[in-house]
Amino acid sequence: MVEDQPLSSLGLRWAVITDVLPEMPRPFERPATLPLPDHVGTGQALDGLSVAVPDAKASAVIAPPHPQMGGSMASPVVSELAWASERAGLSSLRFDWRGVGASSGEASGDLEQADIDFACAAAFLSETVEGPLVACGYSFGAIAALRFGCVTKSVERMVLVAPPTGMLDPESLLAFTGSLLVVAGQNDSWVDFRLLGEVTLGAPQVQIEVLPKCDHFFMTQLGPLSRCIEGWLTGAGPSR
């Protein structure tokens, strides 16, 4: 792979965001208790935060990073996902994995356990908000969102922020038949966005955005990240 190969040849784009967000109050967040299945343990539950949007046209389930690496729903990137969803007219629910914050259980990087946690959050949201789901996640959470979205008919769109390519088969991006947005930082050592671009080249349902001059944590690009996601969710962003 040639490192200086133009992104356009891979169907990728630099995400250039120049507009300024309007001054709006932060959405009112409500605590949510998400019961886990009985086979996990009696009375076990996940802790979450929900944002209800009046007349929401869809709802977003947002998964945090790796539970054993400090990943929680308090992550700035996870918060921006929720904020972008609210501005785009979507209700949202973000949650903590088992063993994180007030969630029951022990923290684990087991993907099958993450599958159960994500499905638990999605079921809770589906019971409270009508309409299709958008599966979202950041880092490890993006892998969980992808796994859930590929096997769940109610998921029509997915937003994957910085999915570690070492944890996924890039071909799995093509298994999802809905619309899919991947956002990565230019200097992210955990995400090979060029590989993802090569695999998904010619797949119109997949859009990959690269934010310049930031790494896996987006600390210098949280605003542009949020606006990129909002634009895609509202259909305002350009497609590949």
Q: Which residues of 196-219 are buried (b: 16+ CB within 10 A; e: fewer)?
A: bbbbbeeeebbbbbbbeebbbbbe
Q: Can you give the pLDDT at residue 18? A: 56
Mean pLDDT of all residues belonging to the chain:
91
pLDDT tens by residue, 145-199:
999 999 999 999 999 999 999 999 888 999 999 999 999 999 999 999 999 999 9
Spell out the domain ranges in the chain: 7-234
Q: Can you give the pLDDT at residue 33? A: 97
The arithmetic mean of pLDDT across residues 59-84, rounded, is 97
pTM: 0.89
Q: Are 119 and 148 in contact (CB under 8 A)?
A: yes
pLDDT tens by residue, 22-62:
555 555 899 999 999 999 988 999 999 999 999 998 999 99
CATH 3.90.76.10 at 7-234, yes or no? no
Residue ranges of alpha helices (H) inside the chain are: 76-87, 111-128, 140-149, 193-200, 222-234
Q: Are 211 and 225 in contact (CB under 8 A)?
A: yes
Q: Can you give the pLDDT at residue 161? A: 98
Residue 124: closest CA among 43, 45, 179:
45
